[in-house]
């Protein structure tokens, strides 16, 4: 159980770090990546301190961290897709404006 907590915590930290990096590069806006990274770091620390010895709490942490990773990923993908659609619409509008109404 300790290894599971450690690996799940590392997954949350790495996943959150990549989402934060993408958020900064694309200016996506707020995300759950900060919470994901924080919870992942706390899970790694908890696995080192013996959180796996308390089985019900350990399974609750596993479920909570897994759910947070899934939720943060879904929110990140949706925001990225929406941002891409907005960029494409903006490009189309700028092209129409550049060409003028008689050439479109």
Residue-wise pLDDT for 20-37, tens only, equals 888 777 766 667 889 999
Q: What pLDDT, on the 0 to 100 scale, is given for residue 4?
A: 92
pTM of the model: 0.81
DSSP-assigned letters across all residues of the chain: -HHHHHHHHHHHHHHHHHHHHHHHHHT----THHHHHHHHHHHHHHHHHTGGGSHHHHHHHHHHHHHHHHHHHHHHHHHHHHHHHHHHHHHHHHHHHHH-TTT-
Local confidence band at 104 (pLDDT 50, 70, 90 cut-offs): low
For the segment 71-81, the average pLDDT, to the nearest whole number, is 90
């Amino acid at each position: 159980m300790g290894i599971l907590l450690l690996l799940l915590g590392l997954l949350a930290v790495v996943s959150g770090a990549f989402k934060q990096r993408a958020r900064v590069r694309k200016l996506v806006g707020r995300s759950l990546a900060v919470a994901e990274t924080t919870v992942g770091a706390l899970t790694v620390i908890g696995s080192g301190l013996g959180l796996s010895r308390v089985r019900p709490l350990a399974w609750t942490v596993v479920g909570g961290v897994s759910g947070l990773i899934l939720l943060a990923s879904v929110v990140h993908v949706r925001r990225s897709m929406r941002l891409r659609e907005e960029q494409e619409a903006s490009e189309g509008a700028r092209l129409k404006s550049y060409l003028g109404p008689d050439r479109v």
